[in-house]
Structure 1
Amino acid sequence: MEEMEDKRNLALRIAVDAGVLDECEYHDGTYTEGSNDIEEAYKLGNARITSGELEGAFDSRREMTDLIKEVVTENCADECYSCARHRDE
């Protein structure tokens, strides 16, 4: 279970680094939709596997792209829910 969480966190970091997701500057661990298409995260992840940076991190490239898609789908809100809640109070 811990290994899968590590893989999901790595997929999330790839999505953020690729600009597909943005992390709220005020609320760590809260993400919103970024300006780039998910394909940019796939390309970045594949480039990192090719360069050896992610050697052994994922069982396959397919596993990596599936996890990127999963974390992007789960975290692609239009705005930070914490910021929205504080604004609306």
Structure 2
Amino acid sequence: MGGAKRAMEEQQDRFQMGLALCIEVDAIEECEHHPGTYYQSSADLDDVYKFANAGVSAGRIKLPDRMSRRDLTDAIKAAYEDNSGLDYCSSCDKIARS
């Protein structure tokens, strides 16, 4: 596997880890009718950061090789920013408006 492909896979894995943490803390929610569609929920970004940092410190969250805490916070931020802004599922909203 080439270096570029490996780097892309690591980036995607980090994003998925950030997204999973956002979901666990209830900062992002997945639509029950549209799997893979996410929207902002009740917690905020700082709540996810605090949860993740405490989890890493306590050993509940194990960082993959070559992943720092900074990488983790960057992944959390990317996942949150990519899926926040709306507090509802845009696909459900489109259907309701039709």
**Contact 2:18–2:75 under 8 Å retained in 1:** yes
Q: State the SS of the aligned residue for 1:56.
A: coil
Match of 1:64 among 47, 60, 72: 72
Please list every run of 5 or more consecutive structure 2 residues that lacks an aligned counterpart in the other structure: 1-7
Please list every run of 5 or more consecutive structure 1 residues that lacks an aligned counterpart in the other structure: none
Count of aligned pairs:
89
Cα distance in structure 2, aligned partners of 1:52 and 1:37: 23
**Contact 2:29–2:41 under 8 Å retained in 1:** yes
Q: State the SS of the aligned residue for 2:16.
A: helix
- Work out the percentage of aligned pairs sharing the same amino acid: 35
**Contact 2:27–2:45 under 8 Å retained in 1:** yes
Q: Hey, what does 2:36 align to over in structure 1?
A: 29
User: Which structure: larger Rg?
Assistant: 2
> Offset of 1:37 from its aligned partner?
1.8
- The yes-or-no answer on 1:87 pairing with 2:89 is no
Q: State the SS of the aligned residue for 2:29.
A: strand
Cα distance in structure 1, aligned partners of 2:13 and 2:94: 29
Q: Please give the root-mean-square deviation of Cα atoms over the aligned residues, in Å.
A: 1.5
TM-score of the superposed pair, with normalisation by structure 2: 0.80
Cα distance in structure 2, aligned partners of 1:7 and 1:53: 17
